[in-house]
Amino acid sequence: MKDWNEECAVFGIWGDPEAGKMTYLGLYAQQHRGQESAGISTLMESGKQIHHKGTGLVGEVFSADVLDTLVGKAAIGHVRYSTTGGNSLHNIQPLTAGLLNGPVAMAHNGNIVNSKPLRKELKRLGAIFQGTNDTECLLHLLARHPSNNLITCLKESVLRLDGAYSLVLLAKDMMVAMRDPRGMRPLVLGQRSLETGGFAWVVASETCAFDLIGAKYIREIEPGEIWWVDDQGEHSERFQAPTSPLAQCVFEYVYFSRPDSKVFGRSVYETRKRMGEILAEEDPIQADLVIPVPDSGTPAAIGYSQKSGVPFELGIIRNHYIGRTFIQPSQSIRSFGVKIKLNPQAEILKGKRVVVVDDSLVRGTTSQKIIRLVRQAGAKEVHFRIASPPTTGPCYYGVDTPEREELIANQKSLEGIRQFIDADTLSYLSIEGMMRAVGASKVGFCAACFDGQYPTPV
Amino acid sequence: MKDWNEECAVFGIWGDPEAGKMTYLGLYAQQHRGQESAGISTLMESGKQIHHKGTGLVGEVFSADVLDTLVGKAAIGHVRYSTTGGNSLHNIQPLTAGLLNGPVAMAHNGNIVNSKPLRKELKRLGAIFQGTNDTECLLHLLARHPSNNLITCLKESVLRLDGAYSLVLLAKDMMVAMRDPRGMRPLVLGQRSLETGGFAWVVASETCAFDLIGAKYIREIEPGEIWWVDDQGEHSERFQAPTSPLAQCVFEYVYFSRPDSKVFGRSVYETRKRMGEILAEEDPIQADLVIPVPDSGTPAAIGYSQKSGVPFELGIIRNHYIGRTFIQPSQSIRSFGVKIKLNPQAEILKGKRVVVVDDSLVRGTTSQKIIRLVRQAGAKEVHFRIASPPTTGPCYYGVDTPEREELIANQKSLEGIRQFIDADTLSYLSIEGMMRAVGASKVGFCAACFDGQYPTPV
Amino acid sequence: MKDWNEECAVFGIWGDPEAGKMTYLGLYAQQHRGQESAGISTLMESGKQIHHKGTGLVGEVFSADVLDTLVGKAAIGHVRYSTTGGNSLHNIQPLTAGLLNGPVAMAHNGNIVNSKPLRKELKRLGAIFQGTNDTECLLHLLARHPSNNLITCLKESVLRLDGAYSLVLLAKDMMVAMRDPRGMRPLVLGQRSLETGGFAWVVASETCAFDLIGAKYIREIEPGEIWWVDDQGEHSERFQAPTSPLAQCVFEYVYFSRPDSKVFGRSVYETRKRMGEILAEEDPIQADLVIPVPDSGTPAAIGYSQKSGVPFELGIIRNHYIGRTFIQPSQSIRSFGVKIKLNPQAEILKGKRVVVVDDSLVRGTTSQKIIRLVRQAGAKEVHFRIASPPTTGPCYYGVDTPEREELIANQKSLEGIRQFIDADTLSYLSIEGMMRAVGASKVGFCAACFDGQYPTPV
Amino acid sequence: MKDWNEECAVFGIWGDPEAGKMTYLGLYAQQHRGQESAGISTLMESGKQIHHKGTGLVGEVFSADVLDTLVGKAAIGHVRYSTTGGNSLHNIQPLTAGLLNGPVAMAHNGNIVNSKPLRKELKRLGAIFQGTNDTECLLHLLARHPSNNLITCLKESVLRLDGAYSLVLLAKDMMVAMRDPRGMRPLVLGQRSLETGGFAWVVASETCAFDLIGAKYIREIEPGEIWWVDDQGEHSERFQAPTSPLAQCVFEYVYFSRPDSKVFGRSVYETRKRMGEILAEEDPIQADLVIPVPDSGTPAAIGYSQKSGVPFELGIIRNHYIGRTFIQPSQSIRSFGVKIKLNPQAEILKGKRVVVVDDSLVRGTTSQKIIRLVRQAGAKEVHFRIASPPTTGPCYYGVDTPEREELIANQKSLEGIRQFIDADTLSYLSIEGMMRAVGASKVGFCAACFDGQYPTPV
């Protein structure tokens, strides 16, 4: 239903006797970042790797039997939303290769903006590409690097890449985590205490993966850092100085990350509530109720309610049973696509002045349907509040976004949008308000989809 | 995860060119009442019926191809939680039979308490039972009734039944809805306007099924009423006087029904909020936050917060991706079964005095794990509040409940339970409070699981 | 591809610790008698029964996991070709019922010719039929019989049935085998020695089932006999005097049975060879080669060759990989349906006078295609020889046959058929020749499909 | 059951509007050469290719839906028996690559004996290997070749390969067929007439693929020949002079090829019959019957019978229903693995002196079981005759064979083998006899598995 989708999450663990199973759980906890495919690679004592990938949810791709085969002390994994190259099995990560110095598996969150010319150059040199995944370029750069030292190969190869990359790599004797110098996508480091004493090292896109497996958050992998762990312990180097200012993705706070994660060092839930609070301050309105568009609008609606004093209610109930196999059988039901998930409650809304809070507004068609349903349920006034600024540009850094011309804020004025979605009033959070919410003291966010300031040439 | 589960929902529609598809949607909207199996029977113009049933969620049992075969102007359907007789395909409803006067399909929500002796008597007369479902008794009574008039057969046959039954039946030329004289299970009647003019008649267990297909709520099927529709229109008779007082299931408000449904004439969401409000009044406590155990505790927690003034927060985030195929792979994670769904937020809870609101407390083991997780997340005090009274007795009227000795309120004192779940304080809603919440003016509820007053001999 | 198909095989075993698995094998060995569905019922020490049924081949219906659940000391099973009532799961045997005196499972080979009026009568008395299977009538007769003695119930109930029935029944404390007084379908009795000493009793449609599980053939279950085994040992009675003469199905020798079975006391392979020998005697021809239409024509072709002295060759090679999922994708290949299985060898046939031997000729269309392919492969002359008489009537005793008007021998003269299939010469085995082949000394066969003498009113 | 298995078949067609479907049929006809996986690549007018691969039989891998997507005027396909590198999807052919000049798909029958050092060399140059398939080396050689002319690339790249290769390649504008200079594996060329006039070019491993789709055999692709077809028509060159003498695989006649194929210019069926005839001449014996081990021993047994005058009988009946999903459930049945497929007929064998003819004898364990069953069926004497010489060496050219020490003829004398399998007499065809059977006038066969004369260094 959402028009703006994160493409991936990564996970890695080193030194855990249940490494494969922990990766399964780490991916499950990050399922919201990608539902189309999943994969896990594990490392056995012998240096051999075992892989399993497939299309579907984590719980569908990995049966108990499969999971039992994913033995080893270390593992990495990946979930994926969708691909530039379609659903080909070749594009499901971790990507793997048998290099001269042993097997390598790699999981990547982000997008390489110069992959097209790089790909052409590598093909001219005889590289055979299996899929259409930009991650594959880095594998070929590694394969062709003359050094026998994997860390050297990696440090030098990534200098050829421009764009967003938070990546985890499993080799025959180490696990590596790297983050691009702009820090565009999140990547966090943690430790999981073992029953037998000692601990395993863990990396993930979001801290919610740590919570599920009982791991402790240590710190972020820094922009421009290469961190690795082997039998001697952990190591860290800079392969490049971090960009100043950084370009951390502000949309992680707006929508992508789970509310119970800590991203770029801040609680997502608290940040979203703060966005709702500032939204209430920036454009106050007289109303009887504040209701969220569930589930993504809920924290901001709670913040809005607390700041404004307007009571918070679950005016729209969400049905979570939908699943992947549900079909939309009827042509004769209006606003069906929205109704199948969301049901406004007439008993709550009848005759009320309602503030409806959503996290963002992209094409406008879904908002239009929601407002229609809220009105049919009897609301007297509908005041639509967006807990982020108008989205005016697509993202090129690992997010699946509509074309520029499909973004309603590019086509219509505020009043035009209000008329289109048929709200009584409409307002967005200001860019300044959003920046205040994500931490006034901290600079360094990419808000290109809101302000057009792309951190790379596009 | 829940220890107290509704066993079924029914649905029926007459006079809709998309009857089969509407039934699919009506079952999907009521999926929360039963996730183990589903079935649909449709009626063609010729009087022939088409059936499809299977185990799994509605979206799994009915593929697009299957749905296309379910043609006809009328249809009934059923979702089922679990069965006394196991997962046998024979027990999945609608049950069907080819009677002398044509095919009959029947969907039943409830439980016949005298089915065992009835079954034995019918077997002695040569009846062959296919499954272990109590609904099958009624089919045999119908088959053996000498009258050629189906309504006569039904009116006289149900007099042999004691217990709870809200049922929908599809014959070769009519659809029938009946509700036991105590009105134990809900059953509502509605109309769906057709694009071609006119309307279709609809029956369902809950009104949320009407909302999804755009049908209008008309009224309840009355206790002791037999209502039917055929090509001549609707008809209604009393087959028995309603019991006074009635014995409507109060647990429908506590947990079973969807919050956006209207049940026994009242909004479930409003009733749950009211339970939370009264809970706050009955035993106030100083606290920093009110958090629900999502999703079933949420309306009561909102009510609690509004009444007490303690701020409402989503202190526990629920992961909805779990699905039916998810496996619980690890032995080494404490409180795993709860963690896989619920993640308390340390950023919110750290150092706080927290009121945790849940809808009910049955065995206590899940509550114990939740409280442990909330404490691990840093809560300073945990005040557990249950928006219903202590559950002391099993249900015999169509609900899957633990044995009496597994109900913790039967085994331990309030203080004993508090110690077991390790809360700083624990309190339940009083029976009087609950009755006040469901409508002081309206008598006639079965609260046997709380007060031991069973409306039938057991 | 065949136009004349056996509908079923039955199997039963008593007193074997691997009863379920032996039944699996006994059904697999008889798979040629029915490929559409399969089922097994086992009996546990407790008197409880376990059932599993499904559509598909034996190897598809029973996974290793399922087979492990089919425990018990006794079991019966059934494979089925197709049904009058379609593919409904309700029609897959063994049929089961929970009678007052315990569970009963029943497997039936044959067809009850008076099932229609019987069914109506039983419905009028209140019986609920699940499927359209004629076997279900007997279950209802049993359920309604006043006696507590199952053998009494069976002996008296079957007197209501007219037609062909070889049946095996499993009750809570015994296994029963019965055969109609005309002896229309085969049913054999054997013993399987156990490693632990002693032996298990076995019944099957064909002896090839005994060979696979290492059981010894003892005798046929006699026409009109009811045989049973319980913890006291075996028992036998006559429920009706055998008809004189009997009406054993001669087509079992022509096509249905496996060549390595002994049926009605004679080797099928030897009988088929003998048919080929007599065919060679009845209408000799000058030729270079004798080739069978594989595999069913092979024994007769060997007999033909040995008697005539014309060399036997595999002039047509059969591809056995086809399987159930194979699709016939192309419209542009002539005689495709035949070619996909049969490939005539040009190297063998080129320029030769060829005798082609097939077991029977029903519609003629397949024979036409085979002859066309043999000619395309270069044969100079094609002499088509059928090792049975012209089929002129359908079968009503448990065989799936075309309508009377689709039988080419009903529509055309011998010369007309020869022209239609485009053979240089055509001849059939005479009825006398066939009877001589199945044993001149032994009377008592039903050859109604060849001679129109139906043993029951039809 | 067989211990010596062909690893692959290839197929290709150019210029047929149903190219994908014809390839499906061409693979189905060659299914005996590989049952573990299958794949098809088609070429659209646009130069784009479509691929589908999977594990299982052809009929399982390609559903009707999948087949409908495989559009285009040209296609190649592959079936595979098993792999050195396990069941990885990466190893299923056709292998594909997006080269600078467009897509390439390649199907290979044979084995490259120098692939290991070649692989290492290519990895050192940065090549990323996906699977463990030796065919992948050629793809990397092509990718790295500096020429823009694919034919030049191919001609020069294959000079790096040593071993057996019959391969078919599909590029964006042509289809290519090549065969190694020793001619080790078969590869034939044909034409399929189209309904619209004109014809399509076809290549296959065996002519039986031509028969099914109605194509005409033209000639073999010659050892050392590169043949290709594009929109201008067909072309042919020598990339290397054929080795003299050639090293065509003699085992194709013994067992691999279908009897109805013409291989290396001769009928397989005729050659096998001739082997049986010479076997009868070389070591005559007094006997009552000759029976084959079906199906592979049948042609030789017919030849043996015709030469010796001993009558041919189907003394062992084979059950073809086994399928891939059949499980072997019982531990308590002796010789089970053989019995499940083969049933000796007591009625035929009892008291007889029997010659049993099989195509080859590898480990001896299966032969031992067969002889035991034949004796249990009552045979008085068992004379085992092998229609090929003793197998003393494994194959390195694309065949899955046991280790040298598992070959019984390497471990035991003729008398030792006879005792092990418990035959009354045992004899093999002589090497001279085999060579006479495959054509005395024609030299140039590899019989290394019989005589140890490997045509390449091993």
**pLDDT tens across C95-152, in order?**
999 898 899 999 999 999 999 999 999 999 999 998 777 889 999 999 999 999 999 9
Q: Stretch D117-138: mean pLDDT, rounded? A: 90
Nearest CA in chain B to C145: B126
CB contact under 8 A, B100 and C143: no
- Minimum distance, in Å, between the CA of residue B355 and any CA atom of chain A: 17
Say whether both D177 and D39 belong to one domain.
Answer: yes
- Write out the residue range of the structural domain in which residue B404 sits: 272-319+333-441
Nearest CA in chain A to B33: A321
Whether B64 and chain A come into contact, CB under 8 Å, resolves to yes
Q: Taking all residues of chain D, what is their mean pLDDT, rounded to a whole number? A: 93
CB pairs under 8 A between C and D: 168
Which chains have at least 3 CB atom pairs separated by less than 8 Å from chain D? A, C
Say whether both C73 and C163 belong to one domain.
Answer: yes
CB contact under 8 A, C60 and D323: yes
**CB-facing half-sphere around the CA of B40: CA atoms within 13 A:** 30
Say whether both D274 and D240 belong to one domain.
Answer: no
Asked whether A62 and A38 are in contact (CB, 8 A), the reply is yes
What DSSP state is assigned to residue A404? Answer: G
Residue B84 is encoded by which pair of tokens?
């006394």
Q: Could you tell me how far CA A311 lies from the centroid of its own chain?
A: 31
Nearest CA in chain D to A137: D128
CB contact under 8 A, B326 and A298: no
The answer as to whether D118 is a domain residue is: yes
Asked whether B19 and B63 are in contact (CB, 8 A), the reply is no
For chain C, the distance separating the N- and C-terminal CA atoms, rounded to the nearest angstrom, is: 27
- Rounded distance between C-alpha atoms, residue D139 and residue D84, angstroms: 18
Q: Taking all residues of chain C, what is their mean pLDDT, rounded to a whole number? A: 93
Nearest Cβ partner of B343 from A260, A267, A339? Answer: A260
The answer as to whether C206 is a domain residue is: yes
- Rounded distance between C-alpha atoms, residue D451 and residue B326, angstroms: 57
Quick: pLDDT tens for A336-357.
788 889 999 999 999 999 999 9
The answer as to whether C267 is a domain residue is: no
Q: Given the DSSP bridges, would you call strands B199-204 and D188-193 parallel, antiparallel or unpaired?
A: unpaired
- Rounded distance between C-alpha atoms, residue B423 and residue B370, angstroms: 10
CB contact under 8 A, C269 and D195: no
pLDDT attached to residue C86: 47
Say whether both A240 and A277 belong to one domain.
Answer: no
D and B touching (3 or more beta-carbon pairs closer than 8 Å): no
Q: Given the DSSP bridges, would you call strands A445-446 and A248-249 parallel, antiparallel or unpaired?
A: parallel
- Rounded distance between C-alpha atoms, residue D23 and residue D66, angstroms: 13
Element (H, E) at D139: helix D135-144
The answer for residues whose C-beta is within 8 angstroms of residue A120's C-beta and 6 or more apart is: none
Last residue of a domain, one of A212, A244, A276: A244
A 402-441 near B (Cβ less than 8 A)? none
Furthest C-alpha separation in chain A = 73
- Rounded distance between C-alpha atoms, residue A152 and residue A146, angstroms: 10
Nearest Cβ partner of B21 from A21, A269, A330? Answer: A330
Say whether both D144 and D236 belong to one domain.
Answer: yes
pLDDT attached to residue D86: 47
Whether C100 and chain B come into contact, CB under 8 Å, resolves to yes
Q: Could you tell me how far CA A269 lies from the centroid of its own chain?
A: 15
pLDDT attached to residue D257: 96
Q: CA of B100: how far to CAs of B103, B125, C89, D79, in Å? A: 8, 18, 22, 56
Asked whether C91 and C139 are in contact (CB, 8 A), the reply is no
Asked whether A94 and A23 are in contact (CB, 8 A), the reply is no
Whether D310 and chain C come into contact, CB under 8 Å, resolves to no
The answer as to whether B447 is a domain residue is: no
Nearest Cβ partner of C212 from D62, D267, D343? Answer: D343
CB contact under 8 A, A326 and B28: yes
Q: CA of C335: how far to CAs of D145, D189, D350, in Å? A: 47, 23, 42
Whether A64 and chain D come into contact, CB under 8 Å, resolves to no
Nearest Cβ partner of C323 from D59, D67, D332? Answer: D59
B 162-201 near A (Cβ less than 8 A)? 194-195
pLDDT attached to residue C85: 42
Whether D348 and chain C come into contact, CB under 8 Å, resolves to yes
Given pLDDT bands bounded at 50, 70 and 90, which one contains residue A178? Answer: very high
Catalytic residues of B, by residue number, are 8
Say whether both C30 and C97 belong to one domain.
Answer: yes
Residue type, D268: V
Tell me how crowded residue C47 is: count the other CB atoms within 10 A of its CB: 11
Whether A139 and chain D come into contact, CB under 8 Å, resolves to yes
CB contact under 8 A, D321 and C59: yes
CB contact under 8 A, B123 and C98: yes
Q: CA of D47: how far to CAs of B45, C146, D85, D170, in Å? A: 52, 78, 31, 10
Which chains have at least 3 CB atom pairs separated by less than 8 Å from chain C? B, D
Q: Of residues C8, C208, C249, C446, which has the active-site annotation?
A: C8
pLDDT attached to residue D85: 42
Say whether both C351 and C309 belong to one domain.
Answer: yes
Nearest Cβ partner of B143 from C89, C128, C130? Answer: C128
Please report where in the chains the tokens 């089961």 appear, as a residue. Answer: C96
CB contact under 8 A, B127 and C123: no
Tell me how crowded residue C326 is: count the other CB atoms within 10 A of its CB: 18
The answer as to whether C230 is a domain residue is: yes
- Residue A419 reports pLDDT greater than 70: yes
CB contact under 8 A, A99 and D139: no
What DSSP state is assigned to residue C47? Answer: S
Choose among A327, C419, D96: nearest CA to B67.
A327
CB contact under 8 A, A100 and D124: yes
Residue D331 is encoded by which pair of tokens?
């531990």
Residue type, D312: F
Please report where in the chains the tokens 């969401």 appear, as a residue. Answer: B269
Mutate to test the interface with B, among A288, A302, A326 (most CBs of B within 10 A): A326
pLDDT attached to residue C2: 65
Mutate to test the interface with A, among D41, D50, D84, D128 (most CBs of A within 10 A): D128
Tell me how crowded residue C147 is: count the other CB atoms within 10 A of its CB: 14
Residues on chain C touching D267 (C-beta within 8 angstroms): 345, 347-348
Please report where in the chains the tokens 């442990």 appear, as a residue. Answer: B372
CB contact under 8 A, C270 and D348: yes
* Three-state SS at B92: coil
Nearest Cβ partner of C208 from D214, D270, D343? Answer: D343
pLDDT attached to residue C84: 46
Residue type, B114: N
Q: What is the CATH number of the domain that holds A46?
A: 3.60.20.10
Say whether both B213 and B308 belong to one domain.
Answer: no
CB contact under 8 A, A313 and B319: no
CB pairs under 8 A between B and C: 50
- Rounded distance between C-alpha atoms, residue D141 and residue D155, angstroms: 11
Q: Given the DSSP bridges, would you call strands D425-428 and D381-386 parallel, antiparallel or unpaired?
A: parallel
Choose among B292, B274, B205, B296: nearest CA to B3.
B296
Say whether both B230 and B364 belong to one domain.
Answer: no
Given pLDDT bands bounded at 50, 70 and 90, which one contains residue D88? Answer: low
* Three-state SS at A146: coil
Residue A366 is encoded by which pair of tokens?
């879904």
Q: Stretch D181-207: mean pLDDT, rounded? A: 96
- Minimum distance, in Å, between the CA of residue C120 and any CA atom of chain B: 8
Neighbour-count burial for A315-335, b at 16+ CB within 10 Å, e otherwise:
bbbbbebbbeebeebbebbeb
Given pLDDT bands bounded at 50, 70 and 90, which one contains residue A393? Answer: very high
pTM of the model: 0.88
Please report where in the chains the tokens 């279900």 appear, as a residue. Answer: C136
Whether B99 and chain C come into contact, CB under 8 Å, resolves to yes
Given pLDDT bands bounded at 50, 70 and 90, which one contains residue A163? Answer: very high
pLDDT attached to residue A83: 46
Asked whether C145 and C156 are in contact (CB, 8 A), the reply is yes
Q: Given the DSSP bridges, would you call strands C381-386 and C353-358 parallel, antiparallel or unpaired?
A: parallel
Whether C129 and chain B come into contact, CB under 8 Å, resolves to yes
Dihedral sign, Cα of residue D252, residue D256, residue D259, residue D263: negative
The answer as to whether B351 is a domain residue is: yes
- Is the backbone of residue C42 left (phi > 0), alpha (psi -120 to 50) or beta? beta
pLDDT attached to residue C83: 46
Choose among D387, B329, D284, B211: nearest CA to A373.
B211
pLDDT attached to residue A324: 61
- Minimum distance, in Å, between the CA of residue D14 and any CA atom of chain A: 25
> Is A8 tagged catalytic?
yes
Residue type, C203: V
* Three-state SS at C89: helix
- Rounded distance between C-alpha atoms, residue D163 and residue A362, angstroms: 60
The answer as to whether B185 is a domain residue is: yes
Q: Could you tell me how far CA D445 lies from the centroid of its own chain?
A: 15
pLDDT attached to residue C335: 72
Residue type, A128: I
- Rounded distance between C-alpha atoms, residue A207 and residue A215, angstroms: 9
Whether A97 and chain D come into contact, CB under 8 Å, resolves to yes
Say whether both B308 and B434 belong to one domain.
Answer: yes
Say whether both A140 and A280 belong to one domain.
Answer: no
- Residue D122 reports pLDDT greater than 50: yes
- Residue A86 reports pLDDT greater than 50: no
CB contact under 8 A, A143 and D129: no
Residue D327 is encoded by which pair of tokens?
């499980």
The answer as to whether C196 is a domain residue is: yes
Given pLDDT bands bounded at 50, 70 and 90, which one contains residue C336? Answer: confident
Choose among D408, D389, D407: nearest CA to D450.
D389
The stretches in chain B having pLDDT less than 50 are 83-87
**Can you list the positions of beta strands (E) in D246-286?**
248-249, 262-263, 266-267
Say whether both A237 and A277 belong to one domain.
Answer: no
C and A touching (3 or more beta-carbon pairs closer than 8 Å): no
Residues on chain B touching C126 (C-beta within 8 angstroms): 125-127, 140, 143-144
Total domains in the fold of chain A: 2
Residues on chain C touching D312 (C-beta within 8 angstroms): 302, 312
- Calculate helix-pair angle for B268-282, B298-308, nearest 10 degrees: 50
Q: Stretch A282-303: mean pLDDT, rounded? A: 97
**Can you list the positions of beta strands (E) in A214-304?**
215-220, 225-230, 233-238, 248-249, 262-263, 266-267, 289-292
CB contact under 8 A, D325 and C211: no
Given pLDDT bands bounded at 50, 70 and 90, which one contains residue C442? Answer: low
Percent with pLDDT over 90 in chain C: 83
A87-A90-A91 Cα angle (round to 5): 60
